[in-house]
Amino acid sequence: MIELLVRPLADAFMQVGVYVAVMVALFGWLRWRYGDRVTDGLTRRPRLGPLVGALLGVSPGCGGAIILMPLYARGKVSFGTVVAALAATMGDSSWVVIAANPEFALKIHALLFTVGLATGYAVDLLGIDPANAVAGRTWRSAWRRAETPVPSASLPTGARQPCPVAPGGADSRPEPLGNHPVSATLAVPTAPDAAPGRSARMSLAFWGLSTPAFLVSVPVVFHAVDPQRLTGALGGIDPYLALGCCGTLVALLIFAAGKGRFADDTVATATPASRREAMRHSAHEASFITVWVAVAYLGWQVLSSTTGFDGSQLALAGAAGVLVGALIGLVPGCAVQIVFTGIFVSGGLPVTTLVANAISQDGDALIPLAALRRRAAATATVITTIPAILVGLALLALLG
């Protein structure tokens, strides 16, 4: 029973969750500290759009790609910048790969960056802009001349000038302005959050468990310490299993408090207003990933133990696997992609299938884009599927 049920739940937190927590917190702090500087510089240098889009997209998680979506809707960045970010992002499933195999994660993220960069510049050079977010000029001309800044006296305090849009159509309506340069442009209904006090307590419990769990996980996972020695030193209590199961339980409580929605990734949380908010969101994001990894681990363990199925029976190898991975990447959000990546980590998928899925998937960034520019979102997710299939097939030929 321990190996069938308890071990997968503990592994989800000890092998993935604690490492995700550390890295998510670090990136959350960086977004809080430097996020606006990156986006402000981007709007002044349109020629660098796809480059910066690929850099933001390839950063682990969805926050980097999310902050670009309202900027595109307001005509501040090109459609190629958006596509570069969506092709480069692996969403929250990137944390799963990083925690499981950092060396492989570096390689696949380098590939994602390259594909995102090339695809983004190709889209801009072809002049593709389905939402007509920058009506009256192409981004090829924008590369030759930066957009003329508007004197601050002509705008309300804290507001940005909306770019003119093409008349007619659901995707051409102007976007509202507000005092916040990013979050005020997006009003996407989300499930109500837990009460502030309750959310803070659960976040504190999560970080309180993550710290000792990390200290136990590192020597155990990297085989520096025999787990039996730790169990003997603690009077028969296995700290790996105990902390792992408790951590997954707390993650499940945080996940449930968030109404089980796909993620807490929005434009507002992509640019947290304080360190406390960054840590709260980091706890939620790490919990979200931990829960879905636990689902993948537990489901895979039960399936393989009860049926003898080890993944080799799946038709997910070869060209069929590449196609399946790319098509699954069309599903918006991160939940399905995290489970899919968890199966890869467990040994159930070939690398070519994962690569196709990683390029095709858009994470949670597609959701705010769809809320603002439905046609652009549909076009973007189709475009990212094309290099996903091509690169997957090329990698299949190379490895074959």
- How do residues 112-168 score in pLDDT, each as one tens digit? 999 999 999 999 999 888 877 655 444 455 545 444 444 444 444 444 444 444 433
pLDDT of residue 75: 80
What's the full length of the chain, in residues? 400
What's the number of CA atoms in the CB half-sphere (13 Å) around residue 118?
12
Give the burial string for 28-50 (b: 16+ CB within 10 Å, else e). beebbeebeebbeebbeebeebb
- Please report, for residues 4, 5, 162, 247, the alpha-carbon distance to residue 1 in angstroms, rounded to integers and kept in the order given: 5, 6, 60, 19
Catalogue the long-range contacts made by 141-148 (C-beta closer than 8 Å, 24 or more residues apart): 142/46, 142/47, 142/78, 143/46, 143/47, 146/44, 146/45, 146/46, 146/47, 147/43, 147/44, 147/46
Token readout for 75 is 């005509």
pLDDT band at 83 (very low <50, low <70, confident <90, very high): very high
pLDDT of residue 308: 67
Of 31, 369, 374, the closest CA to residue 186 belongs to 369
Mean pLDDT of 230-248: 85
| AA identity, residue 390 | L
Q: pLDDT tens, 2-34?
A: 667 888 888 888 877 887 788 777 777 776 776
pLDDT of residue 268: 54
Cα–Cα distance, 245 to 253 (Å, whole number): 12
Q: What is the 3-state secondary structure (H, E, C) of the chain?
A: CHHHHHHHHHHHHHHHHHHHHHHHHHHHHHHHHHHHHHHHHHHHCHHHHHHHHHHHHHCCCCHHHHCHHHHHHCCCCCHHHHHHHHHHCCCCHHHHHHHHCHHHHHHHHHHHHHHHHHHHHHHHHCCCCCCCCCCCCCHHHHCCCCCCCCCHHHCCCCCCCCCCCCCCCHHHCCCCCCCCCCHHHCCCCCCCCCCHHHHHHHHHHHHHHHHHHHHHHHHHHCCCCCHHHHHHHCCCCCHHHHHHHHHHHHHHHHHHHCCCCCCCCCHHHHCCCCHHHHHHHHHHHHHHHHHHHHHHHHHHHHHHHHHCCCCCCCCCCHHHHHHHHHHHCCCCCCHHHHHHHHHHHCCCCCHHHHHHHHHHCCHHHHHHHHHHCHHHHHHHHHHHHHHHHHHHHHHHHHHC
Contact present, 362 and 94 (Cβ < 8 Å)? no
Cα–Cα distance, 272 to 301 (Å, whole number): 37
CB count, 10 Å around CB of 17? 33
Contact present, 243 and 209 (Cβ < 8 Å)? yes
pLDDT of residue 180: 41
Q: pLDDT tens, 328-356?
A: 888 877 778 888 888 888 777 889 999 99
- Domain total in the chain: 1
pLDDT of residue 202: 85
Q: Is the pLDDT of residue 315 over 90?
A: no
Instruction: Give the domain extent around 90.
Output: 2-399
| AA identity, residue 70 | P
pLDDT of residue 54: 92
Q: Find the helix packing angle between 335-345 and 318-328, rounded to 10°.
A: 150
Cα–Cα distance, 173 to 175 (Å, whole number): 6
Token readout for 290 is 């931990």
CB count, 10 Å around CB of 103? 6
